[in-house]
Structure 1
Amino acid sequence: MTVTGEDSEIGADPLDPPLTAPLRRDLNWHQVQSMSQSAGYREDPVLHAIRATAAIRRGTRMTKILSPAQVAGHLGGWLPYGFCYRSCDIAHLREPQDLALLRTDGATDGQVSFALRWRAVDPLDYEIPAAPAHPGLAALPGHSRVGAMVLGTGFTPSADDLIPEYVTAGFADLPLTANAQILASVPGGDEVVLYTYQPEQHGWLRLAGPRWRSLLGEIPGGSPDREYVPCTASGTARLVGRIDDNEYEAVADPPGEFRVRALTRAARYPVQTLSRRAEQARWRGADCWVLQRDETWARLRLLHPDADTISATGARCYERGIYESWAAVDELSDHHIADIGYQI
């Protein structure tokens, strides 16, 4: 975080605008940090103004802290979803034990911390886990959640730091951007890039050198000897672009490149329009993403979990903010393919 006087001007990377607070005699750092941890300040205009400075731009680097099991899932084809952070807001956290507090599965053990890093395609893909987007999250009781409580202020629970948190919009799966990375943080503060994502091949290329390949053994099913790991799952969301009247599957390489997904470089034409496509439905009064389905059953994820929708659907919490359930396909209503358009 950057602390400033009211009249200060700061030069910063336009893709990663700093979190700033207008400190003064009657508003010091300790007061701001305390406000961020208190439910009584959820509607405070000063705290809202501070939180608004942590903006996401097209190309902003985003990070989600992972458990070893979640790393295995992403190597298999999982997409980014749920709670995440701007990379610049957690860059000061270097040690595994510090980063582990940001994990979404509720565990904080392990000598190594893993993370997924990607670039934002558009700010509309992200929401603050607080009112008005998610007013019910902060009211959920402890027995129905996994991981740290949601404060409703837009900041993650912390005794020392001021860390703004985001969720993917409606807890959606977001298509991976080109050159996304899976990282490891080890004792001593070193950050190691283990894999980088190859969108045309839909797989992960190993970048870890001989010194760090033992880290891959921490991942369930991981092998230090595999130079390339193909994704076995196709993903529940994808990017679609158009060139004139033709539609193509697309690849995003923010901030400036959006192209046709093609194995040959000569066919990777820039698209004229871009949208994110996913399947939605409504079940028992709750809006849901359809993650899997066959002729009989569908796996659903709640877009806006709160106590009422969780009770009505019997959804189970799999990680912080992620509530999923199975439903009979013939009970779904408003079942459709949603296209979320981007301005490019």
Structure 2
Amino acid sequence: MSELSSPASERTGLRVAFDGGVYPAEEIARGAAYEVFSADEVTGFEWAPRPGSALPWRRFVHVTEVTAVHGASQPAEEPDTPLMMPAHREHGWAHLHQLSQQPSAAGDPLLVAARASAVVRRGTRMVKVLSARQLAGYVRGWLPHGFCYREHDVAHLRTPSATTVLRTDGEVGRDGSDVAYALRWRAADPGDYDVPVGEAHRGLTALASRDRLGPPVLGTGFVPSNGQLIPEFITRDFADLPMPANASLIAYPAQGVEVVLYTYQAEQRGWLRMVGPQWRHLLAAVPGLSPDQEYVPTGDAPRSTQLVGVHGDTEYEAVADLPGGFRVLAMTRAARYPVDAVARRLRFARWRGAPCLVLREEAGWLRLRLRFPDPDAVVATGAQCHDRGVYETWAPGAEVTDDQVMDARYAM
């Protein structure tokens, strides 16, 4: 049997108890999910034979579906807190899922308590599922923004069909792709993220289907889904976040494997290709990108935000290099000093009564993004939806008020 082609479970002895049976398994995302295998057909498993393996049936399961794990190694880092619900004599997870899909239940105490258990901490791995077009945008300089998820909550969604529930682009079913893409990065600060619930985000739930991309926003803090209970997050104010060092662009082909396509090189401001010849065809559907290009610089792509840090008495551009911390962004290794204080710098403004972010400025016009989209603001500004919850427009600079640069400081 080939060690490269056989499941890791057949080499390490990892087994999990799931749905009344015990199966060989392979760990995913440090135990957030498992790929479980069977020699025989089992309800819910799919036929996915691998060369040299005697276990042709497999299924991806989240850790919350597993009742016991045998033979797991000690985790190398502190795991993210799982989604939890208060103990209840009558109601279980099925009831919680039912509540999560009802906008009218957004204030239910059981739902509120469960949603509050899913938190982002410094270093949490975040994920945004992308179309091929969006992947091209990130390679060329886009920054993390909009709806996103903790990797811990979505690690079991490993195939193009499974990840459609997380898409935000409105191209599902039209791009005909047999591969899913994703951006993965580590959260620099919990304050960079928000949960789309409550009065501040009520406008998202009121937007008509003609004015939005992707699935509707329920206002419960969970993804609209018939079968999944997934907490969703947004970047605060729908702002761009500075790209951390070693962020990854990933592909998930139909085989269910994870293929790292590129990693972000902060000092060089570009993406280094990591994928070998075996998987390079996964880039064929990405517009304007050559699979043979080893390094793709983001160049002078306009950035609406940056991380700034203080070392000594001097302010520098900084970079999040987690889990290590924050440091000066410098080409030479000797100058990459750890910073004493750090903040995310961004620019706010108001136009036609709508609070906005300023993304960039061109010839006296400002590119704006709505911080709290609602039907009235969309109509007043003529903003167009570019991604689920992300609305942008152009405004004459002379008409914009309350234009100011702000620093969102991080706790050190």
TM-score strictly above 0.5: yes
Deviation, structure 1 residue 256: 3.3
> Which residue among 210, 232, 236 is the counterpart of 1:165?
232
Q: Is 1:277 equivalent to 2:345 in the alignment? A: yes
Amino acid at match of 1:144: D
Q: Is 1:20 equivalent to 2:20 in the alignment? A: no
Deviation, structure 1 residue 145: 1.0
Q: Is 1:185 equivalent to 2:249 in the alignment? A: no
Q: Is 1:330 equivalent to 2:394 in the alignment? A: no
8 Å contact kept, 2:96–2:110: no
Matched with 2:125 is: 61
**Secondary structure, counterpart of 2:85 in structure 1:** strand
The CA deviation string for residues 23-70 of structure 1, in whole angstroms up to 9 with x for no partner, is 544012211110100112101111010001111000000000001111
> Which residue among 309, 320, 330 is the counterpart of 2:377?
309
8 Å contact kept, 1:111–1:187: yes
**What is the identity percentage for the equivalent residue pairs of Structure 1 and Structure 2?**
53
**Secondary structure, counterpart of 1:71 in structure 2:** helix
Amino acid at match of 1:219: V
Structure 2: gaps of 5 or more residues: 1-61, 66-73
Deviation, structure 1 residue 3: 5.5
Matched with 1:7 is: none
Amino acid at match of 2:139: L
8 Å contact kept, 1:240–1:249: yes
Structure 1: gaps of 5 or more residues: 5-10
8 Å contact kept, 1:130–1:137: no
8 Å contact kept, 1:96–1:187: yes
Query: Taking structure 1 as the reference length, what is the TM-score of the superposition?
Result: 0.95
8 Å contact kept, 1:3–1:20: no
8 Å contact kept, 1:2–1:19: no
Q: Using CA pairs below 8 Å that are at least 6 residues apart, which structure has the higher relative contact order?
A: 1
Matched with 2:68 is: none
Q: Is 1:144 equivalent to 2:211 in the alignment? A: yes
Query: C-alpha root-mean-square deviation of aligned residues, in Å?
Result: 1.6
Range moving further from structure 2, 306-315 or 70-79: 306-315
8 Å contact kept, 2:214–2:388: yes
Q: Runs ≥4 in structure 1, deviation > 6 angstroms?
A: none
In 1, Cα distance between equivalents of 2:89 and 2:197: 29
In 2, Cα distance between equivalents of 1:288 and 1:305: 9
Deviation, structure 1 residue 2: 6.3
Count of residues paired in the alignment:
338
Matched with 2:43 is: none
Matched with 1:102 is: 166
Matched with 2:45 is: none
Matched with 1:294 is: 362
Query: Taking structure 2 as the reference length, what is the TM-score of the superposition?
Result: 0.79
Alignment of 1:1-344 (within 5 A): 14-109=78-173, 110-232=177-299, 233-344=301-412
Range moving further from structure 2, 151-160 or 232-241: 232-241
The CA deviation string for residues 198-251 of structure 1, in whole angstroms up to 9 with x for no partner, is 000000000001100111112111112111110031421110001122010001
Range moving further from structure 2, 216-225 or 17-26: 17-26
8 Å contact kept, 1:20–1:53: yes
Amino acid at match of 1:75: V
8 Å contact kept, 1:241–1:248: yes
In 1, Cα distance between equivalents of 2:63 and 2:158: 18
Range moving further from structure 2, 300-309 or 22-31: 22-31
8 Å contact kept, 1:37–1:151: yes
In 2, Cα distance between equivalents of 1:266 and 1:180: 22
In 1, Cα distance between equivalents of 2:363 and 2:86: 56
